[in-house]
Amino acid sequence: MQARAIDAGESALPLAVEDAGLFAGVGETPLVELDFLEEIPDGVRLFAKLESTNPGGSIKDRPVARMLSAALRDGRLNGDRRLLDSSSGNAGIAYAMLGAALDIPVTLVVPGNASRERLQRIRAHGAELILTDPIEGYDHALRETQRLAAEQPERYWHCDQYSNDENWRAHYHSTGAELLAQVGEAAGSAPDAFVAGVGTGGTITGAGHRLREANPDLHITCVIPDVFPGIEGLKPLGAPDDIVPAILHEDLIDERIDVRMEQATAICRRLSKAGLFVGPSSGAYVHAALQVAATGRYPVVATVLSDGGERYASTGMWG
């Protein structure tokens, strides 16, 4: 499939930000090869970016750093307005952490069942939390955010990670570019397949475009979470009422693989025995990547391990 024309902007952050040390720590994460997974057939290699090494502990630091930088450049955060967005936790932590570093007041709308560890971290950075009824799910938090932004434009600037193009651009210029360089060095070629899911669509869209530019035959697999209980970090998609993020370029996706929570956590436990302590979305990606690898059609498969396992201790997934 040919890569379509996109406006990826400049590779550097739109504006040099004040706390360069913290921002400089975002990205350039390690690449690990999951060669200990015995299902991987001979002749196939599976690589993953270890995103828990970002300062906020997840891949979400990348888009949030870029979105904040662009907002500052464009003057959207001048004056007393608060940065507003919805998040299930990882982006919320990145907003709270980087906002605190830049003295930007942050308000986050989060479903009330977000894990306790995430809420504690967000509060620790001083962000304001608005908890929505967990029974109404993640999209309800998103709609509540849209309502607040529309009703109080003098109070809030809605960063809107679901429609902010700086989100996928961050993954184009960092996640995707790093995968190309690191996988290229390790395997001698660009990835033949890329596996990711949709939280906002930023990773699969940004990294997907970058990797397909390097390899027009790149196969892109999208992980689809089970309807219930879902998989943390992955948005519900497929039902008629599900909100489809505006930044998601669905035409990039060649294949969708359904993954249940039990399959994801089973992989997490196997990865932990090899020293990789990751969250459920990472387990889901690796579960799907193993299916892609098993076809034997893609010699080099790449994915991301979006966050660490500590954030899920209260869910009982580690026993």
Partner 1 sequence: MSRVIVRIPTPLRGFAGGNSEIAAEGADVGAVLSAIGADHPELLERVMKDDGQPREFVNIYLGSDNVRTLDGMNTPVGEGDVLSILPAVAGGAG
Tokens of 50: 């270890």
**Shortest Cβ distance from residue 104 to partner 1 (Å)?**
22
Class of residue 141 by CB neighbours under 10 A (exposed 0-12, middle 13-18, buried 19+): buried
Q: Which stretch binds partner 1 (CB under 8 A): 56-64, 120-128, 184-192, 288-296?
A: 56-64
Packed helices 261-273 and 280-294: angle between N→C axes, nearest 10 degrees: 90
CA-based nearest residue to 85, from 144, 23, 167, 168 = 144
In terms of DSSP bridges, do strands 31-33 and 45-50 run parallel, antiparallel, or are they unpaired?
A: antiparallel
> Of the two residues 101 and 119, which places its CB atom closer to partner 1 in the complex?
119
For residue 204, state whether it binds partner 1 (rule: CB under 8 A). Answer: yes
Residue from the set 10, 188, 228, 275 that interacts with partner 1 by CB under 8 A: 228
Q: How far is the CB of 231 from partner 1 (least distance, A)?
A: 8
Q: Which residue lies nearer to partner 1 by CB, 17 or 303?
A: 303
Stretch that binds partner 1, among 7-15, 94-102, 176-184, 194-202 (CB under 8 A): 194-202
| Side chain identity at residue 177, one-letter code | A
Contact indicator for 3, 217 with CB cutoff of 8 Å? no
Closer by beta carbon to partner 1, 115 or else 291 = 115
Crossing angle of helices 61-73 and 90-102, in 10° steps, is: 40
182 with 217: CB under 8 angstroms? no
* Contact region with partner 1 (CB under 8 A), list: 7-15, 121-129, 236-244, 294-302: 236-244
* Binding region for partner 1 (CB under 8 A) out of 30-38, 100-108, 213-221, 225-233: 225-233
Check binding of 235 to partner 1 (CB under 8 A).
yes
Give yes or no for a contact between 301 and 191, defined as CB atoms under 8 angstroms apart: yes
69 vs 90, which CB is nearer to partner 1?
A: 90
Instruction: For residue 56, state whether it binds partner 1 (rule: CB under 8 A).
Output: no
Count of residues interacting with partner 1 (CB under 8 A):
58
Tokens of 258: 């359904």
Nearer to partner 1, 68 or 231 (CB): 231
Q: Which of residues 153-192 bind partner 1 (CB under 8 A)?
A: none
Q: Are 62 and 54 in contact, with CB atoms under 8 Å apart?
A: yes
In the beta sheet, which residues pair with residue 83? 106, 157
- For partner 1, the closer of residues 187 and 204 by Cβ is 204
Q: Does 59 bind partner 1 (CB under 8 A)?
A: yes
Q: How far apart are CA 84 and CA 253, in angstroms?
A: 30
Q: Which of residues 251-310 bind partner 1 (CB under 8 A)?
A: 261-262, 265, 279-282, 304, 306-307
Pairing mode of beta strands 106-111, 128-132: parallel
**What are the structure tokens assigned to 87, written together?**
């998040």
Query: Which of residues 262 and 310 has its CB atom nearest to partner 1 in the complex?
Result: 262
Q: Residues 77 to 136: which contact partner 1 by CB under 8 A?
A: 86-90, 110-111, 113-115, 134-136
For CA atoms 103, 107, 108, 113, the dihedral sign is: positive
Residues 15-44 touching partner 1, rule: CB under 8 A, are none
Rounded CA separation 307/319 (Å)? 19
- CA atoms 142, 144, 148, 150: torsion sign: positive
Where do contacts with partner 1 occur on this chain (CB under 8 A)?
Answer: 51, 58-60, 86-90, 110-111, 113-115, 134-142, 196-204, 226-230, 232-236, 239, 241, 261-262, 265, 279-282, 304, 306-307, 312, 315-317
